[in-house]
C-alpha cells in the first residue's frame, strides 16, 4: 500500500534533513518500520475476528470487560510497609485518607526468608525493605483500626512463605470478627521467579512449588474469592528480560503452577478465575501497550486450547502492574515523576486491572510520604483529567499497535516452545535458561546506555555538571530493630508455648503425610507461632536450597 512515490519522498526527507536512515528496534529487538499501514497488519498475520474482537470478548485482546474503565477505574495501589508494624499502620491510614483503594504490604527481607527478627542473620535488615512480621501479634498491630474489608483488596509480596501469610490473614480476619467472604487477600506466592530474579527462596524448588499450590488448593475449596497466587513477570523483567521474554517466562511459569494444581484433581474452571499475573511496565510506551494485549490473548488461548477451560473468567487474565524501578535514576530524581507517569500511561492504555506507581525517590530509599502522595496523585490525575478512561481500548485497530502485538506474540511463542522442549519452566530454571536470557538482555541494555545508543536523561545525556542528588530519603527510625526484637521476645513470653509446640508437631505430621499445609498453618499462627518457627519445621523436612547445590 505504500506507494513508490511515498517511498521516494521518505528517502528525500532523510536526505534533506541530513540524516541517514537507521534501523529502529523495540526493546525485544523487533525491527520497527517507518510507518505502518494495512499491508503491515497483513504481513504480521493479523486477522480481525481471530485476533481482536471487541472488549470483553474472546480472546480479550482489547480488555477483559466490555466497559473497562468507563464503568470503574482500575485498582489504585501503593506499595507500602516499613519499619515496625505501628509505622506501617500509620502509612496505610494516610494513604487510605488520600483515596487509595487497595493496600500492598511490603515485607522486610528476614520475614520473606522466614527468619525471626532476633536471628543474627537478620541483623541490619530488620524493617529496612518492608515491615518486620514475626507473628500474628504484628499483623494485629499493622491493621489496628483497619478492618480487612475496608479496602477492595490487600496484597502482599510473600513468596517462599505464601501459605503462611494466607494463614496469618485468615487468623487476623477471625480476630476482627470477619468471615473470609467479606475481604479479599491477594498473595504473590510465586516461588519460581525467586530462583530467577530475586533470590528470596528458602526451600528447594520442587517442595516450594507444591507448598505454593497448597494455598491455591485451599482457596479453591474454601475461599474461591481469594487470589492465592500472582504469577510474576515483573521481577524477571527488572532482572533483564525483554518484553517478549517477560510474556513467555510468565506464561510458562503459570503452566507449571496450573499443571501441579490440575494434578491434584482441581478443575481448571475452579482455579483459573482466582489466578492473577503481575507484569512490569518500562519506558517503551507502545511495546508495553502491545505486550499487555498480546499477553491477554495468549492467556485466553492457553486456557481454552491447552486446559479446556470453558468459563469466561478462566480466560480473562487479571493483570497487575507496578511501574519499573530500573528505569528510574538517582540523578535528577524529579525526572522520575515523568517516567512513572509515562509508564502508568502505558499500563492503562494496555488495559490492566491494578496499578501501583513508584515514588520518585524509590531509587534512593523507601518512598517518603511526599513521594508516595505524588505517585498516588499521578493515578488520580490520569483517571480524572486525561480522558484515558473515556473510551475502551482507544488504540485498538492501530496499524502499529496491532502489528507489534502480533510480533510480540510470535516471539513469545518461540521462547515458550524452547522452554517446553527443555521439560517445562521448573527444568528450564534449574538449567539456568531463564537466568542466562535475563543476563544477556540486561547486558545488551547496559551496553546500549554506555555506547550512548540508548539515551537516559541525566545519566548519559543532559547531565548537570557537579550535580548533587537532591531528594529527601526515607530513614528507618532509630532503634526500630531493638524495639521489634523486644516485642518479639515479649510475645513469646506471654503466649501458650505448649499450644505452639503442639501446633508445630501437627504441622510436621501433616507435611510428612502429604496433606495440604494450610489448616495446620492456621493452627500454628493462631497459637502465635512465629514465621521462623514454622519455617524451621518445613526446612527440617524439605531441606534448604543454596544456589548451585543439588536439589532434593
pLDDT tens string 96-145:
898 877 888 989 999 999 999 999 999 999 988 889 999 999 999 999 99
- Only one residue has cell 499445609, namely 517
Grid cell digits, residue 119: 536471628
pLDDT at 474 (0 to 100): 57
pLDDT at 546 (0 to 100): 84
- Only one residue has cell 467479606, namely 182
pLDDT category at 549 given cuts 50, 70, 90 is very low
Q: Are 37 and 298 in contact (CB under 8 A)?
A: no
- Of 187, 125, 122, nearest in space to 156 by CA: 187
b/e 237-258 (16+ beta carbons within 10 angstroms → b): bbbbbbbbbbbbbbbbbbbbbb
pLDDT tens string 5-43:
888 898 888 888 877 778 899 999 999 999 999 999 999
- Of 101, 218, 96, 108, nearest in space to 158 by CA: 108
Instruction: In whole angstroms, give the CA distance from residue 356 to residue 340.
Output: 10
pLDDT at 550 (0 to 100): 37
* Average pLDDT estimate for 340-361: 95
**Residue 82 pLDDT > 80, yes or no?**
no
- Of 315, 312, 309, 313, nearest in space to 295 by CA: 315
Burial of 548 (0-12, 13-18, 19+ CB in 10 A): exposed
% pLDDT > 70, the chain: 96
Cis peptide before 121 (omega within 30 of 0): no
Residue 104: strand pairing partners: 79, 155
Q: Are 126 and 108 in contact (CB under 8 A)?
A: yes
Residue 131: strand pairing partners: 83, 107
**Residue 230 pLDDT > 60, yes or no?**
yes
Q: Are 537 and 508 in contact (CB under 8 A)?
A: yes
- Taking the complete model, does pTM exceed 0.85, yes or no? yes
Domain residue extents for the chain: 48-451, 481-542
Topology classification of domain 48-451:
TIM Barrel (3.20.20)
Q: Would you give the distance in Å from CA 452 to the centre of its chain? A: 30
pLDDT tens string 423-448:
999 999 999 999 999 999 999 999 99
Amino acid at each position: 500500500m505504500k506507494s513508490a512515490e511515498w517511498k521516494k519522498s521518505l528517502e528525500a526527507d532523510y536526505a534533506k534533513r541530513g540524516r541517514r536512515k537507521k534501523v529502529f528496534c523495540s526493546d525485544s529487538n523487533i525491527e520497527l518500520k517507518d510507518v505502518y499501514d494495512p499491508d503491515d497488519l497483513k504481513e504480521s498475520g493479523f486477522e480481525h475476528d481471530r485476533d481482536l474482537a471487541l472488549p470483553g470478548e474472546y480472546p480479550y485482546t482489547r480488555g477483559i470487560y466490555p466497559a473497562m474503565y468507563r464503568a470503574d477505574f482500575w485498582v489504585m495501589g501503593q506499595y507500602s510497609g516499613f519499619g515496625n508494624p505501628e509505622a506501617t499502620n500509620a502509612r496505610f491510614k494516610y494513604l487510605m485518607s488520600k483515596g487509595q483503594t487497595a493496600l500492598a504490604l511490603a515485607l522486610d527481607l528476614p520475614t520473606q526468608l522466614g527468619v525471626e527478627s532476633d536471628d543474627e542473620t537478620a541483623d541490619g535488615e530488620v524493617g529496612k525493605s518492608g515491615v518486620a512480621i514475626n507473628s500474628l501479634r504484628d499483623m494485629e498491630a499493622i491493621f489496628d483500626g483497619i478492618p480487612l474489608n475496608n479496602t477492595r483488596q490487600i496484597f502482599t509480596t510473600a513468596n517462599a512463605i505464601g501459605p503462611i501469610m494466607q494463614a496469618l490473614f485468615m487468623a487476623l480476619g477471625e480476630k476482627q470478627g470477619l468471615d473470609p467472604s467479606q475481604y479479599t487477600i491477594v498473595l504473590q506466592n510465586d516461588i519460581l521467579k525467586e530462583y530467577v530474579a530475586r533470590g528470596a527462596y528458602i526451600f528447594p524448588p520442587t517442595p516450594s512449588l507444591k507448598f505454593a499450590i497448597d494455598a491455591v488448593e485451599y482457596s479453591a475449596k474454601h475461599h474461591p474469592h481469594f487470589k492465592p497466587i500472582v504469577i510474576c513477570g515483573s521481577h524477571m523483567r527488572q532482572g533483564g528480560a525483554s518484553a517478549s521474554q517477560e510474556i513467555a517466562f510468565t506464561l510458562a511459569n503459570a503452566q507449571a503452577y496450573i499443571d501441579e494444581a490440575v494434578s491434584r484433581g482441581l478443575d481448571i474452571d475452579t482455579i483459573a478465575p482466582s489466578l492473577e499475573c503481575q507484569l512490569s511496565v518500562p519506558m517503551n510506551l507502545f511495546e508495553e501497550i502491545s505486550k499487555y494485549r498480546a499477553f491477554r490473548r495468549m492467556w485466553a488461548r492457553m486456557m481454552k486450547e491447552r486446559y479446556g477451560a470453558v468459563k469466561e473468567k478462566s480466560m480473562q487474565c487479571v493483570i497487575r502492574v507496578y511501574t519499573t524501578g530500573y528505569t528510574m535514576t538517582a540523578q535528577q530524581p524529579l525526572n522520575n515523576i515523568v517516567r512513572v507517569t509515562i509508564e502508568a500511561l502505558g499500563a492503562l492504555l494496555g488495559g490492566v486491572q491494578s496499578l501501583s506507581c513508584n515514588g520518585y525517590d524509590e531509587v534512593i530509599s523507601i518512598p517518603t510520604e511526599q513521594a508516595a502522595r505524588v505517585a498516588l496523585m499521578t493515578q488520580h490525575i490520569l483517571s480524572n483529567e486525561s480522558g484515558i478512561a473515556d473510551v475502551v481500548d482507544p488504540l485498538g485497530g492501530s496499524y502499529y499497535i496491532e502489528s507489534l502485538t502480533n510480533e510480540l506474540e510470535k516471539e513469545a511463542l518461540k521462547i515458550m516452545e524452547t522452554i517446553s522442549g527443555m521439560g517445562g519452566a521448573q527444568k528450564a530454571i534449574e538449567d539456568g535458561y531463564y537466568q542466562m536470557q535475563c543476563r544477556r538482555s540486561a547486558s545488551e541494555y547496559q551496553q546500549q546506555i554506555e555506547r550512548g545508543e540508548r539515551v537516559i536523561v541525566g545519566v548519559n545525556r543532559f547531565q548537570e555538571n557537579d550535580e548533587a542528588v537532591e531528594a529527601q530519603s526515607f530513614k528507618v527510625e532509630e532503634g526500630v530493630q531493638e524495639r521489634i526484637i523486644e516485642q518479639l521476645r515479649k510475645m513469646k513470653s506471654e503466649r501458650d508455648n505448649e499450644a505452639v509446640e503442639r501446633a508445630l508437631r501437627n504441622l510436621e505430621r501433616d507435611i510428612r503425610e502429604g496433606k495440604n499445609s494450610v489448616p495446620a498453618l492456621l493452627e500454628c499462627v493462631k497459637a502465635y507461632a512465629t514465621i521462623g518457627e514454622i519455617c524451621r519445621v518445613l526446612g527440617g523436612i524439605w531441606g534448604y536450597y543454596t544456589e548451585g547445590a543439588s536439589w532434593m
